[in-house]
Amino acid sequence: AQTVTQSQPEMSVQEAETVTLSCTYDTSESNYYLFWYKQPPSRQMILVIRQEAYKQQNATENRFSVNFQKAAKSFSLKISDSQLGDTAMYFCAFMRVQGAQKLVFGQGTRLTINP
Amino acid sequence: SQTIHQWPATLVQPVGSPLSLECTVEGTSNPNLYWYRQAAGRGLQLLFYSVGIGQISSEVPQNLSASRPQDRQFILSSKKLLLSDSGFYLCAWRPSYNSPLHFGNGTRLTVT
């Protein structure tokens, strides 16, 4: 079974700073997808970014980028020029390509952006 | 456009009462549907998923059940709620293979 670990329960940075959230996962699959979801105080789950394991290039979405290290099974999220609206819980998630496609989530990192 | 509706948004139920949470998806056909539960301050736990009408897979044996009576409708039920059923329930759907999940707004359930 796949597992996803987020080792930072909480993080806090100043507005405009850069912050990196860590995620590691365990799987025997060779092909899979990784995601970062954001859950603001409204509790809506919002997709931030996705990465296909077969792609070596790291995904980027505006101020959000990932550092995908397949051999190390690491998938960190970098938020540049952080904004107050980035305050949220961030969840790393894994989905296999073959078979039943279910999202397996980490426990989340609570990120606070301070003014 | 494709949208997901989940209701009710908030529910307070006594122990031993029945439960029915409903989720519908619009603008697509044959979606994969999911029910997740989130305990306070924790990650999401997959409860059930469905790849088609009448096809339900259970991930965690518990007091809950799920049904998919129509292509775009997914229902989470319980005959008798327990205190431990309290939590935030999220319905999600996936439009096609290898696409990410999209979530509804969730239902906050408090069992008293």
- Do β-strands B107-111 and B10-13 pair in parallel, antiparallel, or remain unpaired? parallel
Q: What is the pLDDT of residues A83-112, one digit of tens each?
A: 999 999 999 999 988 777 889 999 999 999
Interface contact A107-B42, CB threshold 8 A: yes
Which of B41, B46, B106 lies at the smallest CB-CB distance from A102?
Answer: B46
Which residues in chain A have their CB less than 8 angstroms from residue B101's CB?
Answer: 47, 103
> Residue A35: is its pLDDT beyond 90?
yes
Which tokens is B39 given? 């305990």
Helix (H) or strand (E) holding A20: strand A19-21
Burial A40-72 (b: 16+ CB within 10 A, else e): eeebebeebbbbebeeeeebeeeebbbebeeee
Shortest distance between the Cα of B96 and any Cα of chain A, in A, equals 10
Q: What is the pLDDT of residue B39?
A: 85
Q: What is the pLDDT of residue B5?
A: 94
Q: What is the pLDDT of residue A67?
A: 97
Q: What is the pLDDT of residues B25-65, one digit of tens each?
A: 999 888 999 999 998 777 899 999 999 998 999 988 678 99
Q: What is the pLDDT of residue B95?
A: 79
